[in-house]
Copies of this chain bind each other. A is one copy, B any other.
Amino acid sequence: MNTHIFPEESLRRFTENVFRKIGCPEKDAVTAADVLLSSDLRGIDSHGVARLSGYVRLWEKQRINPVPNIQIVHETATTATVDGDSGLGLVAAPFAMQVAMEKAEKYGSGWASVRNSNHYGIAGYHAMKAAAKDMIGISMTNASPLVAPTHTTERLLGTNPMCYAIPAGKYPPVVVDMATAAAANGKLEIAQRSGSKIPYGWAQTKEGKATNDPHALKQGGSLLTLGSDYEHGSHKGFGLSAVVDIFSAVLSGANYGPWVPPFVAFLDPLPNLPGKGIGHFLGAMRVDGFRPVEEFKQHMDNWVERFKSAAPIDAEQSVIIPGEPEIIAEKERKTNGIPLIEAVYQDLNVLADKLGIERLAGEISA
């Protein structure tokens, strides 16, 4: 497939320009672009600039407020509910993580549940902010309903990711950043494009039958929770997804379950919503609230080394420490640039023309 490679800085400037153009204040445009670029740098192509035109379409539908008054509406010393005022989740979530970290600085831990928000990018971006300050970071969000709970045919849950970022010493942070579905929708889309089948256990048909058809979702089917079927623990994936939904939305006053507003602008939110926008949950705990930081980091390094040395089944494939592939991708892409597939490249040019801003520039010749 044809790809176009751009230096990080070109993509970042372009992305900031898009957010400026839809009316975001300078600081917010920079933050929102930083969240998206961090996804592209880390190799999570589905959650970076590939979604930029999606955010703009929501803005066109007046479902994203570019100048939100994001504020704390309820709090204790270590907990807070943040109202995102229909702004970008890419801005509301960093605000809320900052609130959590300031509380943790003072009291050892801090927690913020966010309502009235929109898609917040990759969960890992937010949790890693805490890890950079010697805290353990936690980040969750609910999302448009695509996933059916065990034993049912209804899409009642999003792929609802949860992320834990834990600082280490000489090694990079351990970052567990995972959808609570067996596989995210992006993986079905890749199979659709390449015309291949998907493994059984990712999706089911409208009737709840097992399927290997990547188009199942478009035909009224649903994604399956982590565990895939009851025998293999899909009820556990359902439980985790429920926790994400409740922490993000029932705690904050956002919409939950099937009422979470769709990310795609061509689908309208349901009527009679029980809450406001989508919800996130962010948290931070100071490592030195439990033991001295250096001691903790020495043991984290020991933990990482012991797991890295685990006997592999196949000599070619050793254990993957959570977060390690993304670190490798980031190093490589910071040096060699970020590849965009043709469809995303075209989409961004169309977006530039529509908004009347400069097209993507600085393509690196292959």
Contacts and interface: CB of A to CB of B under 8 A. Distances in A.
A174 B319 contact: no
B111 A285 contact: yes
B307 A156 contact: yes
Interface of A: 74-81, 106-109, 111, 113, 136, 148-154, 156, 164, 166, 174, 176, 178-180, 182-183, 199, 201-202, 207-208, 226-228, 231-233, 235-240, 242-243, 245-247, 250-253, 256-258, 274-275, 285-287, 289-291, 295-296, 299-300, 302-303, 306-307, 310-314, 317-320, 322
A296 B76 contact: no
Contacts of A306: 156, 257-258
Contacts of A176: 236, 239-240, 242-243
A81 B291 CA distance: 7
Given A228-B232, A306-B156, A299 B257 contact: no
Top-5 shortest CB links A-B: A79-B289, A76-B108, A208-B313, A176-B239, A79-B108
A210 to B, nearest CB: 11
Nearest to A225: B233
Classify the secondary structure of A's interface with B: mixed
A81 B290 contact: yes
Given A182-B233, A226-B226, A235-B320, A153 B113 contact: no
B232 A201 contact: yes
A322 B343 CA distance: 42
Nearest to A79: B289
A166 B107 CA distance: 24
Contact of A289 (B78, B182, B226, B231): B78
Contacts of A164: 239, 243
B310 A182 contact: no
A106 B106 CA distance: 14
A310 B152 contact: yes
Given A250-B299, A299-B274, A313 B153 contact: yes
A319 B242 contact: no
B78 A108 contact: yes
